[in-house]
Structures are given as structure tokens and as C-alpha cells.
């Protein structure tokens, strides 16, 4: 019996039981859709995060408190970041020392916190960033009203504030905020500027933020003498690796760290270039995508078991048909091929429909995430996800179709004809 004949025979068998065939492939459709949706959304998230990091500038170097940990590579970056809030090893003077390194153009220290700001009858809870004038140059922030922070503001612990774009809109509307007084923790601050609209940047929504002199934040709002992180800007991309090494040497000397091997795990700080940061975040999003895909893949296993059960039922129901075909000369190979093809056709159809629904799901998710997060969340449908969907569906058909097909092929024609 030719393979083409087996194919059309299998197709006829599926058409004869359309309802059962549709229910059988449903599990595969759900599984493939879930896997493709997760992979697509995961790559969209990765693209968005890496794009935001790139927007900070290719020459930027990030210095954070706490030693380097392999947990960051294993997807535990958020836990490490939370622990860093308890580490007090970085000081404002460290940023000043880094700025004097020949390969560094400028450096900006940062502290942060959450406060409620009040203007007349309006109030808003925002994240404040305490920093220096260099921050706006490093992060390419421009001001649509007024000015940014100045060195004099930092030296004098001035009670001045620069509003993020949406913070200004929510508190002042169309009113000009320059020179107005806002209250933060029972202290009055004078508004001196408004930043341009930026959108989400480096996992933060800077439009919802407030910029204050770092010294004012340390003494008046937080009561601390340390900082959260430093962003340094290298003279050029060509000297980034050299600049990273220079920063480590300067901080080891300042923090009295003896580390001749240059082991980052022995430092009480970590230094990462933008390229290194992008690589780590890419690894993390990749781990999450793999984890979620594995969970979604469980539904494929369930769908495969469902197909095996349905095919076993089909073999039982068609026992007399199998016996008649064998009596007319059909070989074991022909029966085996027919039932295997039926299983593969079911899963292949499920894979095709799953790819279509998965693509629609991914597109809808990209629109929804873009709307809710107010970001340019791109729609990505990776070719490998489509290939995986087709390959997995066919493999499931072969794997879970072998047992029912073998059972059908091994039926005795005499016993099959006698079957009631």
C-alpha cells in the first residue's frame, strides 16, 4: 500500500469523526498557543528592557554596592537589588573620586525613596531621585521649563525640586509650576524646573519622579550618609573596559580592599558596563521565558496523552474494520502507518491552529502590555517558536501514536472480525 493511499485513508478516518478529531486537537492547540505566546512575550520584554538600557547611553558604567554574586546570572537580580538597599559601602565621595579618573568624563551618585508631595489641595505619591547636575547629562534629560539641578544646589543642600513631566501635569495641570512651593515631609521645596517627557527608562518611569539635590535627600529626607548607586560616563566606547578596571582600582583603594587577584566577589561593590548589564538582564529574561515555556509545555504533554487515549478508543471502535482490511490483504505495516498518520495529522493540525492562535495571542498581549505600561512593547513572533510548534506537534503525534498504532497492527484478523 502506497504512503499516499495510507495518507488519504487516514484523512478519511479523521473526517468520519470530525467532532472527536476537533476535541482531540484542542489540547495541542492550547499547548502550542501557550508556548508560542510565552516565547513571543518573553522576547518582546527582553527587547524592551535592552532598548531602555541602550537609551541610557553606550558609554555608561553602573556602580552598585555589594559584591558580585553568581545569583545575578541565575535570574536572582531582583533579590540582589533588594539586599543592596541594606548595604552602605558606597559614599558620595566615591563618585567624586571616580569623576577624577582620566578615562571617565563624569559621574553621578544617586539615592532614592518614595514620598508624598503636596501642592495646595493636590497630592501625589512619587519616587524621588537625589542626585547631582551630571545626572541629566549622563541620562540625556532635557528641561522644558526652568532648569536642572546645579552644583550650588548640592553644596548648599538647597530645598529645590525638578519635577518629572507627569508629576507636573498631575499637580499643576496647565499652571506654570516654576517658583511654586511644594511640601515634602513637612519641608517646603521650591520648583525650579520640569523635565521633558521620557517614558519608562531603565525599568523606572522617570516621568512620575522628582529630582532633588542628593545632599538634601541624604540629610533631610533619608537621614543617611551613603548612596544607592553611581552612573559614570566613559570618555568613549573604546576605553570602557579600561575605565571599568580603573574604577575598581580606585574603589578598592578607597575601601581598603586587598584584592590582588582582581576577584569581583571579594569587593564590596560591583562595576558593570552597559554591555554587561544588558547581558545579565538578557539572561534573566531568557530564564523566565524558559521557565514559563516549560510550564506551558505541560499542556502539550496532557494533549499528547489525550491523543493516545482517543486513538486507543478509535482502535477499539474500528476493530472489525481493521480485521476486514487485514483479511483483504493489508499488512501490519499498512495498519501501523495509517494509525500513525492519523495521530500525526491530528497533532499537525493542532500545531498549525496553535501557531495561528499563539500569534494572535502574542499580538494582543503586545498591544495590552504596551497600553498598560505605556511603552513601545513590540510584537515579536520568533521563527524558532513557529518551528518549535510544528516540530513538537509532529513529535507528539509520533510518540503518543506509536502504541495505539502498534496495537491496531498486531490485531489478529480472525479475532478482529469476530469482535462485537
pLDDT digits (tens, 9 = 90+) for 303-334: 677 777 776 666 666 666 666 666 666 676 77
Tell me the mean pLDDT in the region 179-184.
Answer: 92
pLDDT at 9 over 70: no
Please give the span between the terminal C-alpha atoms of the chain, in angstroms, as a whole number: 27
How far apart CA 327 and CA 230 sit, in angstroms, is 82
Chain-centre distance for alpha carbon 100? 36
CB 390 within 8 A of CB 355: yes
Question: Largest alpha-carbon pair distance within the chain?
Answer: 101
C-alpha cell at 7: 495518507
How far apart CA 88 and CA 226 sit, in angstroms, is 6
C-alpha cell at 66: 555589594
Q: What is the pLDDT of residue 34?
A: 77
As a whole-number percent, the residues of the chain with pLDDT over 90 amount to 25
How far apart CA 406 and CA 279 sit, in angstroms, is 49
How far apart CA 219 and CA 239 sit, in angstroms, is 36
Considering only CA atoms, which of 322, 342, 324 is closest in space to residue 411?
Answer: 322
pTM value is: 0.59
Burial code (b: 16+ CB inside 10 Å, e: under 16) for 77-94 equals beebeeebeeeebbbbeb
Query: Is beta strand 143-146 parallel, antiparallel or unpaired with respect to 187-195?
Result: antiparallel
Mean confidence (pLDDT) of the chain: 78
Q: What is the pLDDT of residue 254?
A: 92
C-alpha cell at 224: 543617611
- Element of type H or E holding 192: strand 187-195
Q: What is the CA radius of gyration of the chain?
A: 32
How far apart CA 256 and CA 268 sit, in angstroms, is 10
Confidence class for position 91, pLDDT limits 50, 70, 90: very high
Q: 9-23, 147-161, 329-343: which range is least confident on average?
A: 9-23
Amino acid at each position: 500500500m502506497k504512503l499516499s493511499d495510507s495518507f488519504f485513508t487516514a484523512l478519511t478516518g479523521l473526517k468520519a469523526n470530525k467532532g472527536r478529531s476537533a476535541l482531540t486537537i484542542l489540547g495541542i492547540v492550547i499547548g502550542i498557543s501557550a508556548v508560542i505566546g510565552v516565547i513571543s512575550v518573553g522576547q518582546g520584554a527582553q527587547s524592551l528592557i535592552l532598548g531602555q538600557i541602550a537609551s541610557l547611553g553606550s558609554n555608561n558604567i553602573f556602580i552598585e554596592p555589594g559584591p558580585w554574586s553568581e545569583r545575578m546570572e541565575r535570574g536572582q537580580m531582583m533579590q540582589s537589588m533588594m539586599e543592596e538597599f541594606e548595604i552602605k559601602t558606597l559614599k558620595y565621595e566615591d563618585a567624586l573620586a571616580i569623576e577624577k579618573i582620566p578615562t571617565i568624563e563624569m559621574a553621578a551618585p544617586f539615592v532614592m525613596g518614595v514620598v508624598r508631595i503636596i501642592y495646595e489641595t493636590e497630592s501625589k505619591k512619587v519616587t524621588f531621585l537625589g542626585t547631582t547636575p551630571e545626572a541629566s547629562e549622563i541620562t540625556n534629560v532635557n528641561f522644558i521649563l526652568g532648569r536642572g539641578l546645579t552644583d550650588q544646589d548640592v553644596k548648599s543642600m538647597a530645598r529645590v525640586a525638578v519635577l518629572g513631566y507627569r508629576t507636573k501635569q498631575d499637580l499643576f495641570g496647565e499652571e506654570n509650576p516654576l517658583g511654586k512651593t511644594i511640601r515634602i515631609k513637612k519641608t517646603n521645596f521650591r520648583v525650579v524646573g520640569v523635565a521633558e517627557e521620557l517614558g519608562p527608562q531603565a525599568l523606572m518611569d522617570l516621568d512620575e519622579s522628582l529630582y532633588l539635590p542628593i545632599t538634601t535627600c541624604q540629610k533631610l529626607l533619608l537621614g543617611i550618609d551613603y548612596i544607592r548607586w553611581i552612573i559614570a560616563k566613559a570618555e568613549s566606547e573604546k576605553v570602557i573596559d579600561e575605565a571599568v578596571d580603573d574604577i575598581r582600582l580606585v574603589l578598592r583603594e578607597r575601601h581598603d580592599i586587598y584584592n590582588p587577584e582582581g576577584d569581583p566577589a571579594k569587593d564590596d561593590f560591583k562595576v558593570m558596563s552597559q554591555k554587561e548589564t544588558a547581558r545579565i538582564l538578557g539572561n534573566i529574561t531568557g530564564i523566565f521565558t524558559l521557565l514559563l515555556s516549560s510550564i506551558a509545555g505541560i499542556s502539550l504533554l496532557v494533549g499528547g496523552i489525550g491523543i493516545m487515549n482517543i486513538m486507543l478508543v478509535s482502535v477499539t471502535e474500528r476493530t472489525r474494520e481493521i480485521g476486514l482490511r487485514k483479511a483483504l490483504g493489508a499488512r501490519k505495516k499498512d495498519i501501523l502507518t495509517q494509525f500513525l498518520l492519523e495521530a500525526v495529522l491530528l497533532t499537525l493540525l493542532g500545531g498549525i491552529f496553535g501557531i495561528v492562535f499563539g500569534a494572535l495571542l502574542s499580538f494582543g498581549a503586545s498591544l495590552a502590555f504596551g497600553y498598560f505600561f505605556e511603552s513601545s512593547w513590540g510584537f515579536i513572533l520568533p521563527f524558532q517558536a513557529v518551528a518549535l510548534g510544528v516540530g513538537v506537534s509532529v513529535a507528539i503525534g509520533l510518540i503518543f501514536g506509536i502504541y495505539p498504532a502498534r496495537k491496531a497492527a498486531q490485531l489478529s484478523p480472525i479475532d478482529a472480525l469476530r469482535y462485537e
